[in-house]
Amino acid sequence: MKPSRQNRGTRRNSAARRAADFRSVSYAIQSRKRRITEEQNRTSSFPAAEPDPVPGDGRMQEINMRRIYRMIRYCGASNRYKGYPYLAEAIRMVALLQMEGRTFLITKDIYPALSRRFHVTETSVENNIRTIITRCWIEHRSRFEEIAGSPLAVCPSNAVFIEMAANALGTLE
């Protein structure tokens, strides 16, 4: 049995309606994501997309990413860890903020900026950095103490290590 003409038209119209509904919902989701991103960029005290220092810039000599990566490798981490670039970028951000004399909150300023830059969640950034710090602490504790400049009783937290590394950045060669 063939469906009557009236039923065929209804099916087509309902498919068209579903497609239109899907497009409107998809547009609403995209515009909401855009608004949230814009709001996050406005509320963060650290710029979301700060350009890297140019070679002629005075900050380039003080915040050299090669030195940061060298220090992280000295602590015992390698680039096989996901958190390796997150940690390096966090140290750079903190060093820049310290140079400007600004205070920062690692969970409010640094992690959101890193998550936007690397397109991951803030929790992922925090966990991956913590993994590197913990593994390096277990394997190379003496190097941590050398960077800190004093004996450490426990493994430093993410914020403590990042600030410690940013402070040591000027003294390590």
Is 155 a residue whose pLDDT tops 60?
yes
Structure confidence at residue 115 (pLDDT): 93
Whether 83 and 69 have beta carbons less than 8 Å apart is answered as no
For the segment 13-31, what is each residue's pLDDT rounded down to a tens digit? 666 666 666 566 566 666 6
What 8-state DSSP symbol labels residue 50?
P
**What is the three-class DSSP state of 131?**
helix
Please provide the DSSP assignment of 48-113 as one string. TTPPPPPTTSTHHHHS-HHHHHHHHHHTT--TTSTHHHHHHHHHHHHHHHHHTT----IIIIIHHH
Is 111 a residue whose pLDDT tops 90?
yes
Structure confidence at residue 12 (pLDDT): 55
Structure confidence at residue 27 (pLDDT): 65
Structure confidence at residue 7 (pLDDT): 54
Backbone angles phi, psi at 158, to 5 degrees: -55, -50
Residue 48 pLDDT grade (very low, low, confident, very high; cuts 50, 70, 90): very low
Residue 104 pLDDT grade (very low, low, confident, very high; cuts 50, 70, 90): confident
Per-chain mean pLDDT for the chain = 77
Is 119 a residue whose pLDDT tops 90?
yes
Structure confidence at residue 15 (pLDDT): 62
Structure confidence at residue 100 (pLDDT): 80
Q: At what angle do helices 65-74 and 83-99 cross, to 10 degrees?
A: 120
Is 172 a residue whose pLDDT tops 50?
no
